[in-house]
Structure 1
Amino acid sequence: MKLGIIGCGNMAGSMLTQMLVNGFVQKEDVMASAYHEKRRKQLRERYGIAVTDDNVEVAQDADILLIGVKPQEYRNIIMEIRSVVKPETLVIAIAVGVTMDGIKDLFGKPVKLTRAMPNIAAQVGEGVTGFCTNFYVTDEDKEIIVHALESFGKAIEVAEKDLEVVSSIGSAAPAFVYIMIEALADGAVAEGLKRDLAYQFASQMVLGSGLLVRDGGIHPGTWKDMVCSPGGTTIEGVSVLEEKGFRSALIQAIRACVKKSHTVADQ
């Protein structure tokens, strides 16, 4: 299985790390392209993979072709490689606002296409990736795709119309969580706790709470109610969050991300 990567930035690099760790591919079967020699050197030294500045070289031999460039770059990249992409190549596109129909039209021919939206937690093998496939992807192809995506976390198939929402809650929202962790730690530090301990407690709390929602089969509101004892400290804190619009702010933030994603490709 030969993996080609065009646009091996932070996200694609995180995916590649776990693909190698989990044995989905071997380093000798991976080739990535990068415009700058400095980046090619970094990829070569970090992963031990073949690197080039030629996108065509990457695309022509790939069984799976991962395209991780910015949405605005898709047209130029696909126009460059479309003549060498084989009918059996599985193309995985990582970009907001770029539709499968739009990508297929750029190729100008049938292509086995997957749109995937992973998140930064792929770096530690705990990512969540929403994905959708087009008509040309067979059941056998999809097994390969899921195997690839699950090498760095959980893969969930969704309708393409939902992919921008999935991207916002899965890929953008980690930034909101990091802000929350930092703020929680700041509050603890303000009350005298050492910062390193504050970050340990806050981050582990988020990890454990997420696992309970994911695996516990219980509505998150129910978990919240279980923690909030009558007249206790937790409900006091919850009342402050409600007063300050915490819930509403998160809702509005997700909706703002979705709105922005619909315009990114046109910028």
Structure 2
Amino acid sequence: MDTIGIIGCGNMGGAIAGSLQMKVIVYDSDSRKAEQLATNKATITVVDSLQALFKECSTMLIAVKPQILSTLYPELQALGSNSKRWISIAAGIPLSVLTEKLGTHEIVRFMPNIAAQYGRAVTAVAPAEGCSASLREDSLQVASSFGSAFLLPESQFSAFIGISGSAIAYVFSFLHALAMGGVAQGIAYPQALQIANDTLKSATSLIDATKANPVELATRVCSAGGTTIEGMKALAQGGFEGLVMRAVEASSEKSKVLEEQAAKQGK
């Protein structure tokens, strides 16, 4: 795939357009937003209508809000949506609705997190039943251009939100808590936060390098009667692991409720 059309140039659509190493043709009802995006990258071209986009592209990426998408279906159908290949990042709109409204099974749904704006997203990728292998592979290539991509069934998207989409905030809270612990021990907050942030990076780099289980790595750090095991004991006494698991569960369950609401809006 050497060309893709993008409908919508908001934060996520714009971030994806800017990260792709291929010809990108964009359409947004706010032409100023689209033109500004195009000035930053030579591979991005702007068109002034969906009709023009359909003429140029066989693969489309939907990057508009669910309530906006619901108003676009009639025009997309009239232009021949059933003859195109589709990728959707429209939040909460399930594949069942997309296949019905677009008239094709050549659809893949993305669930990226906010780090797409910096090329470091973690994205869940779910092809519709009956989707071609070529679109599945092309979609993984697209998702990998702005971070890492994981092929998952759509039924696991809520769980994915719990451990990725929402979990970014958990990590921010953990980093802040580490930094505040440093402040309590006499290190100024800016430096404590940088130390905590770099420590998190070093920890994840060990997992990447060794492929070891995190419990195994933690055990290696814990010397008998040492400082680390005292900290680990305090975490266990506070119910740290159970609390994180409950946070994942709460986010996942809320995601299911919101997806039902979004699906109704997107019909």
The TM-score range, normalised by the shorter chain, is 0.7 to 0.9
- Are 1:65 and 1:92, in contact at CA under 8 Å, matched by a contact in 2? yes
**1:212 aligned onto 2:212:** no
C-alpha separation between the residues in 2 aligned to 1:44 and 1:14?
A: 12
**1:185 aligned onto 2:185:** no
1:94-126 deviation per Cα after TM superposition (whole angstroms, max 9, x unaligned): 14432211111122x224100111223334443
2:166 to 147, 172, 193: 172
C-alpha separation between the residues in 2 aligned to 1:10 and 1:72?
A: 17
Cα gap change, 1:13/1:227 in structure 2, threshold over 3 Å: closer, same or farther?
farther
Alpha-carbon distance, 1:221 to partner: 1.2
C-alpha separation between the residues in 1 aligned to 2:94 and 2:8?
A: 18
What secondary structure sits across from 2:87 in the alignment? strand
**1:157 aligned onto 2:158:** no
Q: Map 1:91-102 to 2 at 5 A.
A: 91-102=86-97
Q: Map 1:112-151 to 2 at 5 A.
A: 112-151=106-145
1:172-204 deviation per Cα after TM superposition (whole angstroms, max 9, x unaligned): 211111221122122223323243332322222
- Are 1:33 and 1:55, in contact at CA under 8 Å, matched by a contact in 2? yes
Say how many residue pairs are matched.
259
C-alpha separation between the residues in 1 aligned to 2:9 and 2:180?
A: 35
Which stretch shifts more, 244-253 or 8-17? 8-17
Alpha-carbon distance, 1:227 to partner: 1.6
**What percent of counterpart residues are identical?**
29
Which stretch shifts more, 49-58 or 87-96? 49-58
1:143-171 deviation per Cα after TM superposition (whole angstroms, max 9, x unaligned): 22222122222222112211221133122
Alpha-carbon distance, 1:56 to partner: 4.7
Paired residue type of 1:4: G
Alpha-carbon distance, 1:89 to partner: 2.8
Q: TM-score w.r.t. structure 1 length? A: 0.83
Residue in structure 2 matched with residue 17 of structure 1 by the alignment: 18
C-alpha separation between the residues in 1 aligned to 2:209 and 2:14?
A: 28
**1:66 aligned onto 2:61:** yes
1:15-41 deviation per Cα after TM superposition (whole angstroms, max 9, x unaligned): 33322xxx2x1xxx3233334455335
Cα gap change, 1:212/1:39 in structure 2, threshold over 3 Å: closer, same or farther?
same
C-alpha separation between the residues in 2 aligned to 1:235 and 1:221?
A: 13
